[in-house]
Every structure is written in C-alpha cells, then in structure tokens.
C-alpha cells in the first residue's frame, strides 16, 4: 500500500485528489489536508463581492465529497514537512494542526509515500501598512471577504441614492501583487452594478495597479487577434476603460492605506495620494509558511522553499538578466529537485522568474506583477502531477514522464465585465503559450492562431455555465472527468 498526501483543497489540490483517486487502485490511500471545511470556486468570489451571488452559491462542504470518493480528509493546517522522518521514524511525514472545532489545536504526524503541496498562497496583507479587511481596505480573495465587501458596496450605493458622490478605488495593494485579473473583473462588475442601480453619475471609479500599462495582467501583455486585426492588449484594455468611464493609475506601489486615503509611489519615485470612499485592493501573495526539517530536526526550509515561501521545483532559478530568461526555465513536472517524492501544484510552486519585465523605482522599490498561475494552469499541472504519481505508485513508470510546463501550455480565460443574463458582458481570451516565446514567435511572443480576445454577452453566458460546471466537477459528481481543467 502507498499513501499520497495532498496539502490543500483548492483548485489544484481538489483536482489532484480526484484524479489520483480515480487512477489508483483502492489498496492505496489518498489523504487531503485542508484548514477549510468548504471548497470555494474562487473565480466567482467577484460576483459575491457585488451581491450577484451568495457565499453558498460558490462553496460546498468538503467532507461529504471525500467520504463518497474514498478520500481521507483531515480539516487541519499543515505546519511542517519532514521529508527524511525524524528520530522516532524513518518515514517522511507532515505535521498538521487541526482546525476542526472538536479537535482544535491538536497536533498530529501523517506519514506519506508521495506528497503534493497544493496549499495555495498566504494573503500577505501585512506587506502594505493599513491593507486588508481588518484594517482600511476590502478584499474579494475569499468568499467571506467578498460577502463583507458586498455589504459595504451596498452602503456606498445607498449613500449615492441619497445624492452623495462617492469615489471608488479598486486594484492592487502592493508593487508585487499578482491576480490583476480578479481585481479587473471586480472593477467592471462594480461599474455594471452602479449603472444598474442608476447611480453611475454619482461615482468616480479609479483603477490602481502595479502593471506598467493596462492590459499587462502579469503576463507581459499580449498581441491578439480581434475583428480581423492584430492589436495589443493595452489598446484593447484602454478602450474598455475609456468606454466605461474608468480612470486609471498604473506603475503604482501602494505604501499605505488610511481611512479614506491611499498613499502610493510610482516608477518615477514620486509619492502621491488618492482619496476614496471605498477601496478594494488585492494583497500580494506569499507561501503559507511551511517549515521543513531533516532527520536530525535541523531546519532545511531554505532547501525546499524559496525566500517567498513557495516551493522550489524543477525550474531554473538561476539569477540572470531579464533578457536572458527562456521559456525552458519554467518547471515541467513540478518535482522537488531534492526530494523526488515531493511535488508542488498551482500557486504553491515558486516561479523561476517574472513574466512581466521587472522594474524598480529610484527608491529601490520593485513595481511589477508577479506571475499568475491560478485557474486553468493550476488544474492542468495538478492533473499531470496526479497521473505521474499514480504511474509511479502502480509501477508503470520510475519517474514523472508527463509534463505541464506553462511555456508549452495554452490557457483560456473569461473575465466577467458585468453579470446579467441579457445585458452582461465578459472578455473571452485565449493565449498560447502562457510564457511568451520570442524565439519561436519573434514578433509577438505567442502564436496568434491561438491568441485572441473578444468581449460580449456570449462570454458572460459561458462564464456562468463554467461556474456551475466546475462546481459540479469539484463535487465528484457522475462523469466529472468530462469537465476539462
């Protein structure tokens, strides 16, 4: 019997668990560790943040799904990894701390034969002074954050209906944030909601971002086919912002969020302020803070994890100039180079370098997006990791053969720009590859036959359908495997 231990039950963790259980014979164990009792379809949290959906529409309990799927579930937080065991056992294990109410705080060791780190990120609100829902800004990163944000938005709308003018600031709250896409979606859904409530004329909406220019999205922007023409995502995005009457601030590192005011530095090193009545600013991400120890209980965290807390895998982490980075630097199997039975999926792996060009202002503050690796890429790499581990456990392969490099992976993204069955819109984008390859595609970095962007009502319908499709899949309902990652 072999045991696969999966840390995390988000998109990557849930995908890996279901595929591994499907591929492995029943004599092998699949165990999932997650501090959360519910699964959350995070891409729809932006709809919770406007009140279009309720938290129960984007979540479901994990325990019943795992029970019917023959997957062991512990509602607990992973604390440390011991890949060589310790003085009491030679078996590798993970120390967990239970978050289940009746076992709260209880510590336990769980051994493993193979380990997948799919913990996702820590929401690092502390990186910016005053940032976060318990301080001076709002968030849509979790369904509970989003639900609270929707209540504040409703209060702002109520004030506007009384004739008060309001300023809304939406975007990223640090110079190294990722997930500009989530903030982008929330921005346009808020704008749509204000028009629906007939208070758009009482509102100034400002976008603030660490992107060098609109349309960067942490992928260095992209050229795309649209209406028979090739255009850059900057033109596409600026047109959309102008059409919806949204002001924008780019090249910004938020230094501090005060009640009603945000202070930021730009790439020129200038300090500026923007006043607001409502601020939804996404935090930067870091690893969740897992520690690692060898058999002598010596700290080897730096051997498994990068300084930002994300796991080191089979990428090229050599420090070199931006111009020398290559698509081949990116990991292919997501296997730890030190411990061959450990893998990382989704946000949990450390990217070898940024995709957008790194930039630093005269004060030494880096201001550029870090690479997104959520959604479709997370699911694809998790599936391939699960298949590789199943092959190794069942003796079909001696090592991981299946690959899922973002340098050879395409992606499809549908970004909501207003939720309504008859009047809603969404931006539908495809790209190939995710990591631009200027050697293969010297003019654009990507294959224009598979890189495109359109906006319209059909995109909203598709996004709405996918919301239910992915919830259906994550619940391991019949024929769940036909729903793609």
Any idea what the CATH number is for the domain that residue 65 is in? 3.50.50.100
Q: Pick the last residue of a domain from 393, 427, 461.
A: 393
User: Alpha-carbon distance 20 to 24, whole Å?
Assistant: 6
CATH code assigned at 280: 3.50.50
Could you tell me if 270 and 339 lie in one domain? Answer: no
Could you tell me if 116 and 134 lie in one domain? Answer: no
Could you tell me if 150 and 104 lie in one domain? Answer: no
Is residue 380 a part of any domain in this protein? yes
What are the pLDDT tens digits along the chain (485 aa)? 999 999 999 999 999 999 999 999 999 999 999 999 999 999 999 999 999 999 999 999 999 999 999 999 999 999 999 999 999 999 999 999 999 989 999 999 999 999 999 999 999 999 999 999 999 999 999 999 999 999 999 999 999 999 999 999 999 999 999 889 999 999 999 999 999 999 999 999 999 999 999 999 999 999 987 777 788 999 989 999 999 999 999 999 999 999 999 999 999 999 999 999 999 999 999 999 999 999 999 999 999 999 999 999 999 999 999 999 999 999 999 999 999 999 999 999 999 999 999 999 999 999 999 998 888 899 999 999 999 999 999 999 999 999 999 999 999 899 999 999 999 999 998 999 999 999 999 999 999 999 988 899 999 999 999 999 999 999 999 999 999 99
The total number of residues written for the chain in this structure? 485
Q: Pick the last residue of a domain from 393, 410, 443.
A: 393
* Angle at which helices 11-23 and 457-474 cross, to 10°: 50
Alpha helix stretches (DSSP H) within 362-440: 376-393
Is residue 66 a part of any domain in this protein? yes
Could you tell me if 274 and 298 lie in one domain? Answer: no
Could you tell me if 54 and 70 lie in one domain? Answer: yes
User: Alpha-carbon distance 431 to 436, whole Å?
Assistant: 9
Residues sharing a CB contact under 8 Å with residue 204, sequence separation 6 or more, in sequence order: 165, 166, 167, 168, 247
Could you tell me if 65 and 134 lie in one domain? Answer: no
Could you tell me if 148 and 270 lie in one domain? Answer: yes
- Cβ-contact 5, 114 below 8 angstroms: yes
Is residue 469 a part of any domain in this protein? no
Q: Pick the last residue of a domain from 393, 414, 436.
A: 393
Is residue 51 a part of any domain in this protein? yes
- Cβ-contact 221, 184 below 8 angstroms: no
Could you tell me if 270 and 320 lie in one domain? Answer: no
> Parallel, antiparallel, or unpaired for β 203-208 and 247-249?
parallel
Q: What is the pLDDT of residue 472?
A: 98
Could you tell me if 34 and 9 lie in one domain? Answer: yes
Is residue 32 a part of any domain in this protein? yes
- Cβ-contact 32, 66 below 8 angstroms: yes
Domain that holds residue 19: 3-121+287-393
Could you tell me if 138 and 279 lie in one domain? Answer: yes
Is residue 23 a part of any domain in this protein? yes
Could you tell me if 295 and 326 lie in one domain? Answer: yes
Number of domains in the chain: 2
DSSP notation for 430-480: EES-SS--TTTSTTTSS-TTS-EEEEEHHHHHHHHHHHHHHHHHHTT-TTG
Q: What is the pLDDT of residue 228?
A: 76
Tell me how crowded residue 101 is: count the other CB atoms within 10 A of its CB. 8
Is residue 221 a part of any domain in this protein? no
- Cβ-contact 165, 275 below 8 angstroms: no
Is residue 448 a part of any domain in this protein? no
The pTM score is 0.96
- Cβ-contact 176, 354 below 8 angstroms: no
């Amino acid at each position: 019997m072999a045991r696969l231990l999966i840390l995390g039950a988000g998109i990557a963790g849930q995908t890996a668990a279901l595929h591994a259980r499907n591929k492995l014979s029943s004599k092998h164990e699949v165990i999932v560790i997650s501090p959360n009792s519910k699964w959350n379809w995070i891409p729809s949290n932006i709809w919770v943040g406007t009140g279009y959906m309720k938290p129960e529409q984007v979540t479901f309990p994990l325990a019943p799904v795992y029970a019917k799927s023959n997957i062991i579930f512990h509602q607990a937080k992973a604390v440390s990894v011991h890949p060589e065991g310790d003085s009491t056992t030679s078996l590798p294990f993970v120390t967990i701390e239970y978050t289940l109410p009746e076992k709260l705080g209880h510590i336990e060791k769980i051994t493993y034969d193979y380990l997948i780190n799919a913990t996702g990120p820590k929401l690092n609100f502390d990186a910016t002074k005053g940032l976060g829902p318990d301080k001076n800004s709002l968030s849509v990163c979790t369904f509970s954050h989003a639900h609270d944000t929707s209540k504040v938005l409703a209060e702002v709308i109520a004030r506007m209906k009384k004739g008060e003018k309001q300023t809304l600031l939406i975007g990223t709250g640090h110079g190294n944030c990722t997930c500009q896409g989530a903030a982008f979606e929330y921005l346009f859904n808020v704008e749509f909601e204000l028009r629906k409530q007939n208070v758009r004329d009482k509102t100034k909406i400002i976008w603030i971002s660490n992107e060098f220019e609109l349309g960067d999205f942490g992928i260095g922007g992209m050229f795309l086919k649209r209406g028979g023409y090739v255009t850059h995502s900057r033109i596409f995005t600026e047109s959309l912002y102008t059409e919806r009457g949204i002001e924008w601030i780019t090249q910004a590192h938020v230094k501090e969020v005060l009640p009603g005011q945000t202070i930021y530095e730009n790439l020129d090193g200038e300090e500026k302020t923007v006043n607001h009545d409502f601020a939804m600013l996404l935090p930067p991400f870091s690893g969740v803070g897992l520690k690692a120890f060898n058999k002598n209980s010596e700290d080897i965290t730096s051997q498994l994890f990068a300084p930002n807390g994300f796991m080191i895998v089979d990428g090229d982490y050599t420090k070199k100039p931006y111009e020398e980075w290559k698509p081949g630097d990116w990991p292919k199997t997501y296997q730890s180079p030190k411990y061959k039975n450990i893998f990382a999926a989704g946000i949990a792996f450390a990217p070898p370098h940024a995709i957008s060009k790194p930039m630093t202002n005269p004060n030494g503050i880096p201001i550029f997006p870090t690479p997104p690796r959520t959604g479709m890429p997370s699911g694809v790499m998790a599936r391939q990791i699960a298949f590789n581990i199943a092959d190794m456990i069942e003796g079909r392969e001696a090592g991981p053969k299946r690959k899922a490099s973002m340098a050879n992976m395409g992606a499809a993204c549908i970004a909501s720009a207003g939720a309504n069955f008859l009047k809603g819109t969404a931006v539908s984008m495809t790209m190939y590859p995710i990591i631009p390859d200027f050697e293969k595609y010297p003019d654009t970095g990507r294959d224009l036959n598979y890189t495109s962007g359109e906006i319209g009502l059909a995109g909203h319908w598709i996004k709405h359908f996918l919301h239910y499709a992915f919830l259906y899949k994550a619940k391991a309902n019949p024929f769940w495997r036909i729903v793609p990652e």
